[in-house]
Amino acid sequence: MPDKKHVKYVLTEDQLPRAWYNIVPDLPVPPAPVLHPATRQPVGPDDLAPLFPMALILQEVSTERYIEIPEPVRDIYRQWRPSPLFRARRLEKALDTPARIYYKYEGASPVGSHKPNTAIAQAFYNRQEGIRKIATETGAGQWGSSLAMAGAMFGIEVEVFMVKVSYHQKPYRRSLMETFGAKVHASPTNLTDAGRKILAEDPDSPGSLGIAISEAVEVAAKNPDTKYSLGSVLNHVLLHQTVVGEEALLQMALADDYPDIVIGCAGGGSNMAGLLFPFIREHLTNGRRARFLAVEPMACPSMTKGVYAYDFGDTVQMTPLVKMYTLGHGFVPAGIHAGGLRYHGMAPLVSLLHEQGIIEAVAYHQNPVFEAAVTFTRAEGITPAPESAHAVRAAIDQALEAKAEGKERVILFNLSGHGFFDMASYQAYLNGELEDYEYPIEEVQRAQASLPQIPVVTIG
Ligand SMILES: *Cc1c(COP(=O)(O)O)cnc(C)c1O
């Protein structure tokens, strides 16, 4: 039984993981191949070389269970890792629940989210291969500021295409990126063919992650000294985030406890995978059973309402095709405040695990999400990022269900970031101005109709 009073479980710097965990060899079925956007044949490493450094491409297709974390990356991780695991005792009390609630706090990184875990690694490998500049997209600005920080640390120029609606909603994220020395544009721009095409169709386009990705990919594809970087979705990004779950496993052992359910909010799936995958390894290979839950917004419900199919990662159909839960590459989401969750697709590895019934999914409207975030803030003192607040909502609902059943339940969730740059969203909630958007079913059907037609691919 866990002790009676601890609220925080900390590891020493020496306990910082030495390897990232690659879930691929432990999957119940092999992942579907990634297809070339033009030929629709499986891509090889050389096809991806214009966009990514080879070290990351090899991680993308690796079947090794563990991949060593380079020492220069660990040295930077040390600044905020191992991150703390908290027992939410005051929240438990506020809810009057028999459940034990734990959260892994990734908001302690310099930019306030889990995203530097991969930004640092990606900048390191780009630097190693002599790349001078990285182009990327950002939604709410969390990814852009993480990569801007990593670029500053490794001496790499960073150019960010920021979704236009967020550029105006979150001006201070832009200021932070520029403080790190990055160049930031409101996407769609007139700087790329992709941006000009979108603007010709809709001069008032609010932008979307899919559009911003098209722009950044185009910049990388056209400039030999420039690579592209993505902050979620891809296998190597999920891989880098597994430091979160590896640490949490050690911390749950310190707490002398083990979760019945592990929860993460899911935009592209990286923070959730980072926490869940090491626990899924234990579930699949070590008999330590648990439930796994992904939480998404009703306004962008890729797993709960999307289809599992091959689709493009971007709007203008430049990226390779991956098999994933998707709302369609043409999807332009409503302007909800959890900007980091507004992506049309879900990471292929997460999608596969959802399809296999290992990761469950649930969707919430933004008002109940902010209500949970306020309850959490008042009890624990930490203001969650609107994205992370989706996980908070689900954790609270799990605790209330345990209370209704009069049973214990051990709940672990990822508090992927703090919300200090999102106080305008909190203010809108407190003023009663937030609208609950539900993604219409006709849109789901339209999205389905827009999917590329892929003949059945036989493997081997
Ligand atoms: C970007 C972001 C997310 C969503 O991205 P994932 O890849 O799904 O993790 C969630 N929480 C925070 C704090 C973010 O910045």
Q: Looking at the structure, tell me whether residues 34 and 102 fall in a common domain.
A: no
For 322-353, the pLDDT digits (tens) are 999 999 988 777 766 776 787 889 999 999 99
Over range 158-166, report the average pLDDT.
95
**pLDDT at position 84 over 60:** yes
At residue 88, what is the residue type? Answer: A
Over range 173-196, report the average pLDDT.
97
Q: Looking at the structure, tell me whether residues 162 and 93 fall in a common domain.
A: no
CB-CB neighbours of 274 under 10 Å: 31
Cα pseudo-dihedral 62, 136, 178, 382, rounded to 10: -60
Give the angle 431-437-443 at the CA atoms, nearest 5°. Answer: 165
CATH of residue 181: 3.40.50.1100
Q: Is residue 254 in some structural domain?
A: yes
Band of pLDDT at residue 359, cut at 50, 70 and 90: very high
Q: Is residue 456 in some structural domain?
A: no
Q: For residue 460, what pLDDT is reported?
A: 38
**Of 199, 217, 235, the domain-final residue:** 235
Ligand 1 atom at minimal distance to the Cα of residue 231: 7
Q: How far is the CA of 232 from the centre of ligand 1 (A)?
A: 8
Q: Is residue 74 in some structural domain?
A: no
Q: Looking at the structure, tell me whether residues 414 and 287 fall in a common domain.
A: yes
Q: Is residue 75 in some structural domain?
A: no
Q: Looking at the structure, tell me whether residues 269 and 165 fall in a common domain.
A: no
- With a 6 A CB cut-off, is 142 part of the ligand 1 pocket? yes
**Of 198, 214, 235, the domain-final residue:** 235
- With a 6 A CB cut-off, is 318 part of the ligand 1 pocket? no
Give CA separation, 400 vs 87, 229, 409, in Å.
16, 40, 10
DSSP β-ladder status, 157-163 and 66-68: unpaired
Q: Looking at the structure, tell me whether residues 266 and 404 fall in a common domain.
A: yes
Q: Looking at the structure, tell me whether residues 208 and 309 fall in a common domain.
A: no
Q: Is residue 455 in some structural domain?
A: no
Q: How far is the CA of 433 from the centre of ligand 1 (A)?
A: 24
CB-CB neighbours of 225 under 10 Å: 10
Q: Is residue 171 in some structural domain?
A: yes
Q: Looking at the structure, tell me whether residues 260 and 129 fall in a common domain.
A: no
Over range 254-259, report the average pLDDT.
98
Q: Looking at the structure, tell me whether residues 152 and 215 fall in a common domain.
A: yes
Contact assessment for residue 245 and residue 21, using Cβ atoms and an 8 Å cutoff: yes
Over range 425-430, report the average pLDDT.
95
CB-CB neighbours of 323 under 10 Å: 21
**Of 212, 235, 258, the domain-final residue:** 235
pTM for the full predicted model: 0.96
Report how many domains make up the chain: 2
Q: For residue 40, what pLDDT is reported?
A: 93
Q: Looking at the structure, tell me whether residues 210 and 330 fall in a common domain.
A: no
Q: DSSP letters of 143-210?
A: HHHHHHHHHHHHT-EEEEEEEHHHHHH-HHHHHHHHHTT-EEEEES-SSSHHHHHHHHH-TT----HH
For 282-325, the pLDDT digits (tens) are 999 999 999 999 999 998 899 999 999 999 988 888 889 999 99
Band of pLDDT at residue 459, cut at 50, 70 and 90: very low
Residue 159, both tokens? 């150019």
What's the half-sphere exposure (Cβ side, CA atoms, 13 Å) at 1?
4
Contact assessment for residue 301 and residue 395, using Cβ atoms and an 8 Å cutoff: no
Q: What percent of the chain has pLDDT over 70?
A: 97
Closest Cα to atom 7, ligand 1: which residue? 270
Contact assessment for residue 108 and residue 408, using Cβ atoms and an 8 Å cutoff: no
| Higher local confidence (pLDDT), 93 or 5 | 93
Q: Looking at the structure, tell me whether residues 307 and 350 fall in a common domain.
A: yes
Structural domain harbouring 304: 8-17+80-112+242-445
Q: For residue 385, what pLDDT is reported?
A: 97
CB-CB neighbours of 456 under 10 Å: 4
Over range 114-138, report the average pLDDT.
97
Q: How far is the CA of 385 from the centre of ligand 1 (A)?
A: 9
Q: Is residue 457 in some structural domain?
A: no
DSSP-derived 3-state class of residue 311: strand
Residue that has been written with the tokens 């697709």 in this structure? 345
